[in-house]
Amino acid sequence: MKEYLKHHEWQIIEEGFDAHYNKISESIFSIGNGRMGQRANFEEEYSGDTLQGSYVAGVYYPDKTRVGWWKNGYPEYFAKVLNAPSWIGIHISIDSHKLDLAKCNVVNFVRTLDMKTGLLTRKFSAVLPDGKQVNVEAKRFCSMANGEVGAIRYALTPVNFSAKAVISIAVDADVVNKDSNYDEKFWEEVYRKAEDHQAIVVAQTKKTKFHVATGMRYAILQDGKEASKRINYEERDKYAGNIVQIDLNQGKEIVVYKYGAILSSENHAKDKLVANCQDVLNKAVEKGFERLFEDHAAVWKHKWDECDITIEGDIAAQQGIRFNIFQLTQTYTGEDERLNIGPKGFTGEKYGGSTYWDTEAYCLPFYLGTAEQQVAKNLLIYRHKHLQRAIENAGKLGFKNGAALYPMVTMNGEECHNEWEITFEEIHRNGAIAYAIYDYIRYTGDESYLSSHGLDVLVGISRFWAQRVNFSKDKNKYVMLGVTGPNEYENNVNNNWYTNYIARWTLNYTLESLANVKAGNVKDYSRIVGNLSLKDDETALWKKIADNMYLPEDKTRGVILQQDGFLDKDIMPVSQLAKEDRPLNQKWSWDRILRSCFIKQADVLQGLYFFEDDFDTDTIKRNFDFYEPMTVHESSLSPCVHVILASKLGYEEKAYEMYLRTSRLDLDDYNNDTEDGCHITSMAGTWLSVIKGFGGMRVKEDTLHFTPFIPKKWKSYSFRIEFRGRVIKVKVSNQRIETTLVSGDPFNIKINNEPVSLSHNKTFEKVLA
């Protein structure tokens, strides 16, 4: 755990430059706009330890799978989020000495991310090896108003000298991915051209042939006027730019304005990319840095009006939740149903593919509660569009008759994760896809989605479950063998309770949904059943399996068993581990981890969170008390589930502890892995921790319920929720809860199970016991 960032309600602030933390900061200070993103790499050259990263949404490379022993069913490739051509470079040499913070004496270094406006600022003084000192202030943003534009204002002042400087301003597509399986470069040049104050490079990805045009225009000003300079053009393979020779005068600031345009063939015809890139650059330069920033900041204001959470009395908690919301918002805007939410977003290349089950289990509720309904619906449509690929994925593993296995990792619907215990065994992901359909309909009331999209997916997943189980004569039950549950510190286990339970639930929900559609619209039902060739004997088998699914439990302790044989382990709490043993995945052998009782993330508790209405409070409490002490939370997805359950059980201190862990996971580098990128999808869990945890929000029988409490350190907290065409503001303090209907028709909610009527712009107050 590292605590080197200053606490602030709206800003992330790093004071002083420590090269050991540089890659962590590159992740944390990343910026994006839904179309593209950029790690907080320096504009100037940096020869120290760095992970260069510029990313374009939807652009990937299928890196050939690299394993020691090939098994039938393995994906042929592992999708890679590509480090895209760099647009930010402003390289400076002064009297032959490069401005390189790894080789300079750096003082007064301050890096700030203003989350309110999405502006990254860096200030520092650097003393070069020959004693020359420069002051630098760099500002950068990726425009939320135009997803293809980025802008930089780079100001440099010579403090104690006058000299000649050379500034290289370019586009560089000769970039690498750190995680390349075969040390391969993934970009090929299509076009390059350097001109006066401008350069454009078009590069294409190998194999997938995505084209990306990256262009830049710049101006260099001194005293508000275009500075006198000499310009030479520079072109080489996958690189184009200008080399500018300029006189620096002591105490006189020069300002480089650099505008980037990043266009993809996903959104433009390939033969129009250069012309369209030029057009985007022209319009950006015409607006200028300040007006571009004003438009960008205005979008951020609107976004924060929609989804901000305020916490009074705890700056660390406030900073944490806003950082998580900020990263989520700049990663996925919901405007393009072809896109999804990658685990690292625009902050790093680890985890390869763009979509995991995290989207359905954690992110969907965030977008349901903070954006218009279509945004969340687009996440479901994304999976519906990949249904045929899910059927093909299942077919590769020997499943038939339209059985669908959604991928663990994907860019295009095809499985591209190449660890066998994940690809073949972590099949609970299928249940999360089904649960998301239920969650969306429960929240929005949009029953029509079942007929238009949902049942196609539910039937495919149910067919998979029906073929994946087998009947055990010994147990006289249906069982599921050789799986990995959410706790990835267990592999190839039999009867993971969560997997069995969500499979049974999916079968029942599919049957219930079929019955509801049949009752509401026989014509739709007949069309769906006909298209899917669904027969009565098939649905009868589903019911038989659901009614006879084996669910392991220990009746003596009164707890659910994570899987068969779990109690054969040496049961002990995490508190007995030595500090030097953590994190386990970096300190222990995999063999030792698999034999231990320690739990990477919520497993049984994940099921109790999803299906809490199926269990009484005593059952949830017994299982929480049993499993929580063994959980090491070495998955970013784990703490939020524990916040929600701890809040329900009245374990307020545990809920607050886990909230800080989930909200500050990356800011404080809890798991020693933030340098690889931020944990974007789990950030939705921080929002869930406040809304469903502390706020106790649930949807039951088409009604919003709140059972709130407030952590002792907080004076108040407030949030805004969108629900079925209405906007509700909720504020909780030590004494009361206030609810206001900001917009939409009057309706009823429940607070601590008591009905409350809300009407427009009237605040209802209820005293909390």
Contacts of 275 (CB under 8 A, 6+ apart): none
Asked whether the bond before 639 is cis by omega within 30 degrees of 0, the reply is no
Which run of H or of E encompasses 370?
helix 364-370
Rg (CA), the chain: 27
Sign for the CA dihedral angle at 621, 622, 623, 629 comes to positive
The upper half-sphere exposure of residue 664, i.e. CA atoms within 13 Å in the direction of its Cβ, equals: 23
Residue positions annotated with a catalytic role: 488
8 Å CB contact between 105 and 126: yes
Query: Residue 32's beta-bridge partner residues?
Result: 37
Between the two ends of the chain, the Cα-to-Cα distance in Å is: 37
Which run of H or of E encompasses 736?
strand 736-743
Which two three-digit tokens encode residue 697?
């929000």
Sheet holding 698-700, edge to edge: 698-700, 703-706, 747-751, 754-758
Q: How far apart are CA 659 and CA 641, in angstroms?
A: 10
Residue type for position 79:
A
Which run of H or of E encompasses 523?
helix 522-532
Per-residue HEC secondary structure of 224-266 comes to CEECCEEEEEEEECCEEEEEEEEEECCCCCEEEEEEEEEEECC
Residue type for position 51:
L
Neighbour-count burial for 750-764, b at 16+ CB within 10 Å, e otherwise: bbeeeebebeeeeee
Burial class of residue 266 in the structure, from the number of CB atoms within 10 Å of its CB (0-12 exposed, 13-18 middle, 19+ buried): middle
Q: How far apart are CA 313 and CA 662, in angstroms?
A: 19
Residue 665: phi, psi to the nearest 5? -55, -45
Q: Residue 729: count other Cβ atoms within 10 Å of its Cβ.
A: 14
